[in-house]
Amino acid sequence: MTAKYTGKCLCGGVTYVAEGRPVIVAQCHCEECRRLSGTGHTIGAMFGSDAVAVCGALREFSYSSGKDSTVKDSTVTKAFCATCGSPIFGKNTRLPEHVTLTLGTMDDAKGLEVEVVIFGRDKPHWDQLGEDVACFATQPEWTPES
């Protein structure tokens, strides 16, 4: 049976289906991914473009990438839900036949693991937890005064 991954944005206006296993699942700590996500990294699953079908209204933003790495300059395009802004996928002119879906928008990423970390050099010190950080199963009762 062919693997199938479905996903959607926060508001549900954008949905997607990806068929087959991803080429790779990568976590990226580059500055662009940090600003895009609002956190310390993105995690993306790369698929062949033919394997992915996306429905719904997207907006796109493109930028130049690669000037600061070992690969040559390329244009990266990020696609977001036009309504809620969830990042859905990215593509890179260096690998034109591929799209990278954000793992956090996937309904069930069962069987997928991060296989590689890139731009580890730029990983922020706050993007990892110390052993003494309290972990609650849900939002706890808490106010700034408590």
**Which residues contact Zn ion (rule: CB under 5 A)?**
9, 11, 13, 28, 30, 33, 81, 83-84
User: Quick one: 50 or 96, whose CB is closer to Zn ion?
Assistant: 96
Q: How far is the CB of 143 from Zn ion (least distance, A)?
A: 30
**36 vs 146 by CB, closer to Zn ion:** 36
Closer of 11 and 53 to Zn ion (Cβ): 11
Q: How far is the CB of 141 from Zn ion (least distance, A)?
A: 30
Distances (CA, A) of 132 to 128, 129, 135, 141: 12, 8, 9, 19
Smaller CB distance to Zn ion: residue 74 or 83? 83
Q: To the nearest whole angstrom, how small is the minimum distance from the Cβ of residue 75 to Zn ion?
A: 14
- 101: three-class secondary structure by DSSP: strand
Nearest CA among 71, 83, 81, 59 for reference residue 118: 71
For residues 101 and 106, what is the distance between their CA atoms, to the nearest angstrom?
A: 8
Task: Note whether 34 and 43 are within 8 A (CB).
Answer: no
